Chain A
Amino acid sequence: MSDYDDVWLVIPAYNEGTVIADVIENARKTFPNIVVIDDGSTDNSAETIMTTGAHLVQHPVNLGQGAALQTGFNYALKQPGAKYFATFDADGQHQTHDVEKMVALLRADEADVVLGSRFIEQTGEVPWIKRVVLRTAATISPTARKLNLTDSHNGLRVINRKAASALRITMNGMAHASEIVATLASSDLRVMEVPVDILYTEYSRSKGQSLINGVNILFDISLRERGRK
Chain B
Amino acid sequence: MKYLWIQLLLMAGTGVLVYAFIRRWDAAHTRAWKRMAFFAFVIANVYAVLRPQDVTWIANKLGVGRGTDLVLYLLVVAMAFMTLNTFMRFRSLEKKLTDLARTVAVNDGQRVNKERFAEDDAVLPVGSER
Contact = CB atoms under 8 A, between A and B. Distances in A.
Q: Do A and B bind each other?
A: yes
Interface of A: 1, 5-6, 35, 37, 50, 55-61, 63, 67, 70-71, 74-75, 78, 80-81, 170, 172, 223, 226-229
Given A56-B116, A75-B106, A226-B25, 13 more contacts: A1-B128, A35-B109, A50-B116, A58-B105, A63-B97, A67-B101, A67-B102, A71-B106, A81-B130, A170-B95, A226-B88, A227-B25, A228-B92
A170 B97 CA distance: 12
Contacts of B88: 226-227
Interface of A is mostly: loop
Interface residues of B, number: 28
20 contacts: A5-B130, A35-B109, A55-B109, A56-B112, A56-B116, A57-B106, A57-B108, A58-B105, A58-B109, A59-B105, A60-B104, A67-B98, A67-B101, A67-B102, A71-B105, A81-B129, A170-B95, A172-B98, A226-B88, A229-B95
A37 B88 CA distance: 28
A227 B129 contact: no
Contacts of B128: 1
B54 interface: no
B102 A78 contact: no
Contacts of A170: 95
B67 to A, nearest CB: 35
B91 interface: yes
Which of B25, B88, B90, B106 neighbours the largest number of chain A CB atoms within 10 Å of its CB?
B106
B26 to A, nearest CB: 5
Nearest to A37: B105
Contacts of B116: 50, 55-56
A74 B102 contact: yes
A35 B112 CA distance: 12
Interface in B1-27: 21, 24-26
Nearest to A5: B130
**Which 3 residue pairs spanning A and B have beta carbons closest together?**
A227-B91, A57-B109, A227-B88
B27 to A, nearest CB: 10
B87 A227 contact: yes
B83 interface: no
B45 interface: no
Contact of B108 (A58, A228, A229): A58
Nearest to B94: A172
Contact of A75 (B25, B87, B109): B109
Which of A1, A35, A37, A229 neighbours the largest number of chain B CB atoms within 10 Å of its CB?
A229
Nearest to B113: A55
B68 interface: no
Given A1-B128, A227-B88, A229-B95, A74 B106 contact: yes
A220 B130 CA distance: 40
Contacts of A227: 25, 87-88, 90-92, 95
Which of A5, A63, A80, A227 neighbours the largest number of chain B CB atoms within 10 Å of its CB?
A227
Nearest to B102: A71
Nearest to A64: B98
B110 interface: yes
A63 B99 CA distance: 10
Nearest to B103: A74
Contacts of B109: 35, 55-58, 75
